A = this chain, B = another copy of it.
């Protein structure tokens, strides 16, 4: 078993800030990215946790994310906020745009935050929960690099395009889900490859478009969408809403920042905020309470609401701190320039 280091939330935050500030990220970017990776670590979403700092630093060095970009907020229409991230992080773009999004949703009932030209690496539950914390219902979606074949197709074209939703539950953690529209996370195929295990049928195609259970072949071929043609359609919708609708690119036009720095990892994000109070006025409390009966019915059958494992981890981490592998801790500390230690 790997040796673990325990950090308090404050220590994890300080570590993140030092790594980013010491590697050319300005204060706004460092704060937004640190908040994201520490929240993920707190919720034991390791795949979006502190280890992502290494990727941020690497990507910045390759010119794939501008840690000094200034997001530009435009009050575009009564229900549209646009934020041009200018090749900076989607996270600082979201934080800059959020206050106006909240204001507009409360004023008109529903509003969109359209982030463009952003570098995006984080989990969408963070954005939708930042909004449900404000009493709003929220949806978010973004394209990713192309890994998924459309239903009936043979080649990677669509991103793993995640879709997230959060519903406020007064006095409780929100009802939140956040899922990739691929049948499985790409990392799961990677884990099978490392373990030398076959992947289940229905996960992926080879480069010729035939089903495969070999993880290596799958990683060079295409993943499949969840739920067949339905998941594929949903993924296509995400490409359209978080792409052409907001004047940004399609998933297949992005690519991971290559060593040359020539490829464009930038793309859009589409966030919707809806105000129960704008819809229902004073009756909002009563109808939100009514929604609780659905959650009770679900839990009463022994089914789990989404995100419950994450919320339980959150409670543990807030009490006991976060655990990361000692090796990761050493790597992160080594990224801090001597001048800042």
Q: Point out the residues of chain B lying under 8 angstroms from A163, CB to CB.
A: 234
Is the CB of A93 closer than 8 A to any CB of chain B? no
Q: Does A215 contact B (CB under 8 A)?
A: no
Could you tell me if B294 and A240 are in contact, using CB atoms closer than 8 angstroms?
A: yes
B-contacting residues, A110-134, CB 8 Å:
110-112, 114
Q: Is A293 an interface residue (CB 8 A)?
A: yes
CB within 8 A of A109: which of B79, B179, B227? Answer: B79
- Interface positions, chain A 299-331, Cβ under 8 Å from B, are 301-304, 306
In angstroms, Cα B239 to Cα A167, docked, is: 12
Task: Encode A220-236 as 1/0 by CB contact (under 8 A) with B.
Answer: 00000011111101101
A270-291 CB mask vs B (1 if < 8 Å, else 0) is 0010101011100100011011
Across the A-B interface, give the 7 residue pairs with the lowest CB-CB distance, nearest first.
A227-B227, A153-B301, A153-B303, A152-B303, A80-B109, A79-B108, A177-B233
Interface residues of A, Cβ cutoff 8 Å to B: 76-80, 107-112, 114, 137, 149-155, 157, 163, 165, 167, 175, 177, 179, 181, 209, 226-231, 233-234, 236-237, 239-241, 243-247, 250, 252, 272, 274, 276, 278-280, 283, 287-288, 290-291, 293-294, 297-298, 301-304, 306
